[in-house]
Amino acid sequence: MNGSDNELRRKSSGLTLKKRIALKWLNSVASFGITFVLMFGLWLVLSGNFEPLLIVLGLFSSLVVSFFFYDLLFPGLQAGYLLVGIRFSRYIPWLLVQIIKANLHLLYLVFHPRMHAMIDPHIVSFRSGLQKDMSIVTLANSITLTPGTITVNADREGSFRVHAIDRDSSRALPGEMLKKVARIFGEAG
């Protein structure tokens, strides 16, 4: 039993058995529908083929994947999912800019005549204050996606160990990225 089942049970404790079953079924149908739309949309974008046979096969494969895995993507729909999605969609462009900046910095390091003197690999440890698993994973993946840094370890208490290629790459840790991820998931960070 996951956290969303507990929350659903807590919210529906005053409801009759019939209403609880209907609420759980409605939640499952909504999760299935959203998963199907996302899977089929992703299939269309990635395949780029719009022949009728291929579209039917894409519909079928999206239906099968959604049927078996709808509860993995959206285990229990809550009102906050939409808000998190909107906040996350605003975070992506900022992260892409940070990735480009880090790429340019690494390019500078690699082509600098004193490259060996400038590279100073080290481990940075910090406590983020993040509580939710999704926010910890998002921060860890964002750090790893940024060239010059790799998340070595991230635990459920919000402690991070990050390998950085030089001091400039580690200066920004945890910094603004932590604040933005915390804001996405409604945490203090």
pLDDT at position 21, please? 83
Mean pLDDT for the stretch of residues 56-80: 84
Q: Does residue 86 surpass a pLDDT of 90?
A: no
pLDDT at position 100, please? 96
pLDDT at position 25, please? 81
- Residue 177: which pLDDT band, with cuts at 50, 70 and 90? very high
Express each pLDDT in 98-126 by its tens digit: 999 999 999 999 998 888 888 989 999 99
Residue 117 phi, psi dihedral angles, 5° rounding: -75, -25
Q: Does residue 69 surpass a pLDDT of 60?
A: yes
- Residue 94: which pLDDT band, with cuts at 50, 70 and 90? very high
Per the CB < 8 A criterion, the answer to whether 30 and 77 are in contact is: yes
pLDDT at position 2, please? 47
Short-list 40, 29, 121, CA closest to 71 = 29
Q: Does residue 91 surpass a pLDDT of 90?
A: yes
pLDDT at position 81, please? 75
- Residue 5: which pLDDT band, with cuts at 50, 70 and 90? low
- Please tell me the distance from the alpha carbon of residue 72 to that of residue 3, in angstroms, as a whole number: 13
| Least confident span in 65-74, 100-109, 153-162 | 65-74
| Least confident span in 16-30, 151-165, 170-184 | 16-30
Edge to edge, the sheet with strand 149-154 lists 122-127, 159-164, 149-154
- Residue 174: which pLDDT band, with cuts at 50, 70 and 90? confident
The mean pLDDT value of the chain amounts to: 86
